[in-house]
Amino acid sequence: MKQSTLMIVLTGIIILIASFGKYVEVNITESATNIVEKRLNPAPLLSHRFDYFGTTLKENFTSQKVNFKQLKKNRAEILNIRRETSKMWEDYKLIASESEKDIVDRVDANMQEVDQMVDMLIELADRDPNYVDSVVKNGILFNKIDPILEDINYLTDLQTEKGTEQTNIMLKLLSMFSSFMIGALALAIIMLGSVVYPMVKKEPEPKRKGRVPAKKPAAKKKASSSGCCCC
């Protein structure tokens, strides 16, 4: 193969590596950003909202007996926690994916209903404690809270599930790129070797044949000084 052809092939390999590398970079950047913004960031927002319904409300409205004295004392704290976690819930709704929309709308409506009932119970705690106690004991409030907790749990698990799927896609793409790099580099080394090897390889010098020494011409006999012999 001609050297010019080999250089063209090597250049093509470099272009392929650079192009595939850019493709991998764009996809991984997009996936990583999506995981952070759509999957990791929502987790604490959902967790705090869950704690409001699952801990704050259930601790103040137990199904056994409402502690009205404690309820009055904690009234400001309950409303403050609700305000903070409501803001977190609104932040979550802004970044929730389209596939979560139906669940989010259902949970949002249930939350508003529970908040209205809690406001009513807090307001009636001084005027009609018996009614408040009966509502709590009948489980009406908790029957509205439990579906909210189940849906929030589902949404939290969904973030983990989708985040794991996207992470696996990134790892698969990186594995493909790694295999491609190994194959391309191996081919490039082989091609480069085929270019360099003839340049460094030395042709063995041909052996010189031994020269036959030239024969010296025979010396001419000198003519006799006495002259020619007479016949």
Mean pLDDT of 201-225: 55
Rounded Cα distance, 226 and 209, in Å: 50
Query: Would you list the domain boundaries of the chain?
Result: 3-200
Please give the single-letter amino acid code of residue 3.
Q
Quick: pLDDT tens for 146-157. Answer: 999 999 999 999
Q: What is the pLDDT of residue 215?
A: 57
Quick: pLDDT tens for 117-165. Answer: 999 988 888 888 888 888 888 888 889 999 999 999 999 998 888 888 8
Q: What is the CA radius of gyration of the chain?
A: 46
Quick: pLDDT tens for 100-111. Answer: 889 999 999 999
Q: At what angle do helices 129-137 and 140-200 cross, to 10 degrees?
A: 50
Rounded Cα distance, 132 and 126, in Å: 10
> How many CA atoms, within 13 angstroms, populate the side-chain half-sphere of residue 16?
15
Mean pLDDT of 209-220: 55
